[in-house]
Amino acid sequence: MKILLVEDDIDTAQFIIKCLEQNGDSVTHCTDAEQGMLNASIHSFDVIIFDRLLPGMDGLDAVRILRKSNVLTPIIMLTALSETAHRVAGLNVGADDYLVKPFAFSELYARLTALARRQPLLQQSSDLRLKDLTICRTTRKVTRGKTQIELLPKEYQILEYLILNKTQLVTKTMLLENVWGFHFDPKTSLVQTHVSRLRNKIDKPFSCELIKTVRGHGYIISE
């Protein structure tokens, strides 16, 4: 992925750059909003990471300007402000996602990949397939091999979200946001419980496991 990082805090920036480069991505780093906007409009990137609190300019305004000047690259905003109002403000000006500091790199990376690959997924097909697993998005019918599997609504939503982001890490927080619409972290094992029930239904009776746990980070669905 080609990534633009706009972040004034050197420590955070170096941490992100190091991790991204280890994953084989190329990073362009700017420390202020103007430079960031300039880079974003001249070069093409797969995804932009924009810090909210930048010297001289609110990242929010920068994103608004970028969107007005027709830069459609997916943007994820980083911020120390976790309030709902701030998150909503970020999404309102045209950011695609919002992540609160401090964050685990796996969380950021999962979101970056989800954003970078979002565009081709927009052509919504009614059937999603992964190996011998098929889900029909109109009837919500799930089959694996020749067996039809009955899923509860939440289990279906989790499976659908996982398959839409197949072969990518999906974190617990991403599931909470996209399946439950929660913007807070419940203490309990809400996600784990539902995922484990889902696995009991779609993986256990079969020889090959599709959903894999990445310990401490989240889940990946893949062949």
In this structure, which amino acid lies at residue 201? K
In the bound complex, what is the minimum distance in angstroms from residue 63's beta carbon to other proteins?
A: 21
What's the rounded Cα separation, in Å, for the pair 170 and 217?
8
Indicate the residue among 121 and 152 with the shorter CB distance to other proteins.
152
In the bound complex, what is the minimum distance in angstroms from residue 80's beta carbon to other proteins?
A: 9
Bridge-based pairing of strands 26-30 and 2-6 is parallel
In this structure, which amino acid lies at residue 13? A
Binding positions for other proteins, rule: CB under 8 A: 82-85, 88, 100, 102, 104, 154, 180-190, 193-194, 197, 216
In the bound complex, what is the minimum distance in angstroms from residue 47's beta carbon to other proteins?
A: 25
CB neighbours of residue 218 within 10 Å: 23
Tokens encoding 10: 């050197």
Indicate the residue among 88 and 208 with the shorter CB distance to other proteins.
88
Indicate the residue among 56 and 216 with the shorter CB distance to other proteins.
216
> Torsion angle, CA of 108/162/138/190, rounded to 10 degrees?
-90
In the bound complex, what is the minimum distance in angstroms from residue 132's beta carbon to other proteins?
A: 26
Indicate the residue among 23 and 82 with the shorter CB distance to other proteins.
82
CB-based contact 173:217 (threshold 8 Å)? no
